[in-house]
Amino acid sequence: MHMEENTLSVLKIAPGQYPQQVEIDNDLKALQQAVGGSIGASYPFADDPIAIVYNDDGKLMGLPLNRALWDEDGL
């Protein structure tokens, strides 16, 4: 997939849906729009430059849960 300099190719993973590859603008406003509010980021894979970007207030807002992340011990 061709990626423009000012866009990000990402996997959009909405609750209850299959992952979907999309392109979004590479700026704060586009990230906030993608998650529906304030963004938070997690980097769960130490050796990979992969971020999980999410709505930082989603739990407080009662948004539906999405996917669980488990470590190699199932925790």
Q: Kindly state whether residue 1 falls inside one of the protein's structural domains.
A: no
Q: Kindly state whether residue 70 falls inside one of the protein's structural domains.
A: no
Q: What is the pLDDT along the chain (75 residues), one digit of tens a residue?
A: 455 579 999 999 999 999 999 999 999 999 999 999 999 999 988 888 889 999 999 999 999 989 888 888 888
Q: Kindly state whether residue 52 falls inside one of the protein's structural domains.
A: yes
Q: Kindly state whether residue 14 falls inside one of the protein's structural domains.
A: yes
Find the domain containing 41 and state its range.
Answer: 7-61
- Residue 42: CB partners within 8 Å, gap ≥ 6? 51, 52, 54
Q: How many domains does the chain have?
A: 1
Q: Kindly state whether residue 54 falls inside one of the protein's structural domains.
A: yes
Q: Kindly state whether residue 39 falls inside one of the protein's structural domains.
A: yes
